[in-house]
Amino acid sequence: MTGDLLLDVASLRKSFGGLTAVDDVTLQVERGSIVSVIGPNGAGKTTFFNLITGIYRPDLGTALLDGVDLVGLRPDQVAAAGLARTFQNIRLFAGMTALENVLVARSMHMRSGYWGALFHTRVYADQERSAVADASELLRFVGLAERADALAGSLAYGEQRRLEIARALATKPKLLLLDEPSAGMNPQETEDAKALILRIRSELGIAVVLIEHDMRLVMTVSDHIVVLDYGRKIAEGGADDIRTHPKVIEAYLGRGVAARTATPESEEAS
């Protein structure tokens, strides 16, 4: 890595009782890059995301985003520092429209707050108009312009996933963490997700870190891949290095899972 460092995570560790879920993991993300974190089930991928987004506090280690230490911050403070995420399980307000869902996420960037809303000040009205315009633009960006007034709960599964991404983008992040963006998707939806991830980088200039089990997606979008197993980083590098890395193949095969890392044409690694 030689470029402009955005996220610098060093020696991160977290134990739950006797189990070390994340063990001395170091990871760097350059501005504008796409990094994937892969590994068999239970390898520590989601715990790693939880450690850098303020859901868990690490036992050891540091996580700097653009020089700001994320350790000890609450999730909302992490988001304000420029790190947004989606979750493995969709978390939307099902009874609100798609547009309202994005507006709620964006509201943390509106400055007039409670009193402005109460007295409906001009500043508040201006901010509200610009918030609606921004949220509508985000819905267009993720391909949901036509669905702005639909209740989130009525959207198709792939649409709900895209709405989650729009909500995360509404916080204007420098870095977006996507936890299994293609989980449960059909092949067409996965292709659409892949195109969207690439556009987030190319059109918005936002770096992306994804946890993903779909090896074809991982191998085609990632600049860099980090492999975890039993909480430890066992390999990292480009797609070609990872595909043929003996420790990676062993980690997947050793759990009785097909060695699909060696064949990018296959759909999933676990």
Ligand X SMILES: Nc1ncnc2c1ncn2[C@@H]1O[C@H](COP(=O)(O)OP(=O)(O)OP(=O)(O)O)[C@@H](O)[C@H]1O
| Residue 9 Cβ vs ligand X, minimum distance, rounded to whole Å | 15
Rounded to whole angstroms, how far apart are CA atoms 85 and 248? 26
| Local structure of 207: helix, strand or coil | strand
Of 21 and 63, CB closest to ligand X: 21
CA 55 remoteness from chain centre: 14
Of 45 and 162, CB closest to ligand X: 45
Of 48 and 124, CB closest to ligand X: 48
Closest CA to 93 of 104, 84, 82, 109: 104
Of 63 and 142, CB closest to ligand X: 63
Of 47 and 101, CB closest to ligand X: 47
CB 13 within 8 Å of CB 60? yes
Contact residues for ligand X (CB under 6 A)? 16, 19, 21, 39, 41-47
| Residue 38 Cβ vs ligand X, minimum distance, rounded to whole Å | 9
Rounded to whole angstroms, how far apart are CA atoms 19 and 74? 24
Rounded to whole angstroms, how far apart are CA atoms 35 and 45? 13
Strands 224-229 and 34-38: parallel
Rounded to whole angstroms, how far apart are CA atoms 45 and 180? 10
CB 270 within 8 Å of CB 257? yes
| Residue 255 Cβ vs ligand X, minimum distance, rounded to whole Å | 11
| Residue 127 Cβ vs ligand X, minimum distance, rounded to whole Å | 38
| Residue 136 Cβ vs ligand X, minimum distance, rounded to whole Å | 34
| Residue 20 Cβ vs ligand X, minimum distance, rounded to whole Å | 9
Of 23 and 135, CB closest to ligand X: 23
Q: Where are the beta strands (DSSP E) in 2-125?
A: 5-16, 19-30, 34-38, 60-65, 68-69, 83-85
